[in-house]
Structure 1
């Protein structure tokens, strides 16, 4: 059976950009239908029909911005996937908070656009279902998304957080660790120290010595031992016990 084709909506108030994206997406064999909207209000009218799989959203538009539309879509019973399109990279953290599939910087090349379509398909399984949360990270001037399931632990560095992943990579993101802890609590992440947030699923050992507790996690080929603050020890034990039941 052939793979399902996506129905996409492109939203941009600049007509030349809108026409270019519609043209390029129309050349992608994985896309069955491309629709266009020149404003946020027009986009919402089309999105309310519920048959859009992915929406390519310009961030900065008069009236309803792309971020406004994405926040509205989060209240839909079956929201489409969202890819943000912008001339600036200052909204990457907002994109992460809204569970965007991708974050494209103008001008957009066809190869990069095809990569976004691939991510949309991988993210959904079936075109209209979002399955994996991710976080936007910047590396060498390029914004990409790291799956939350790949994050082993996070370490606070001022108003930033450094994420350590199962592959041994690390990424610095502009979000306070308290915000990240609140957003990721339901995904099995627990605050074990004012500076550390750990994924319960990646804890290999819990060690208690001299009345002090620590956890052992694995990133890449190395085990990392992280101290647990006294006030977080009981909560950690309770969560690990509940997870084991």
Structure 2
């Protein structure tokens, strides 16, 4: 078997591996929760390598770079469409905030008069906006609020929206592959872990943990006796922070 024939035989198998088992294994790897920044870079490299290998395999298999070029244009088109759609939604959100939100220069956040306890980062080009509700300000104590704002500002400063947008586009490029959703969900989890680490570095792990639980429960003061039922993503964040705390605190938390 010639080297060229062997290459043409093996490359489709490599593509299949990159599109199926590799993202599943990467999403389940334990080290990603311990090193979210490295995990984010790994996911980006994975996507670039997979796209390049797919295009190269198609070009060699069809003996035509034109077909690979058309696929590349289609992939870029899906990326641009995703960016355009999300940017339009963000502009509408910004227009709504302009009517209902009040900027707090001391906290450097936009405050919305809403009883619900919410905090989020709204992408806005090079100037992302951190938004909190009155309910959040009333619910969290000073330390918890610092953790919440540090978390959201990490999203803003590190432009996590670009990373998430890229993998939303990846999901649209391969809508027929369940693993594209796996990759997008894993990248979202990585950005949350990254922001949680920033909050923990700014205040502490226990305060960050308390802030997550406080927003999730919507209950001021202690959480004793509260029937808290977080979603799986939030529970994963809680367990991750508990894993980074002294063992006695894990037992005290009862998780």
Instruction: Give the structure-2-normalised TM-score.
Output: 0.26
Q: Which has the higher helix share?
A: 2
User: Could you say which structure has the greater relative contact order, defined with CA pairs below 8 angstroms and 6 or more residues apart?
Assistant: 2
Q: Which has the higher strand share?
A: 1
Larger Rg: 2
Instruction: Give the structure-1-normalised TM-score.
Output: 0.27
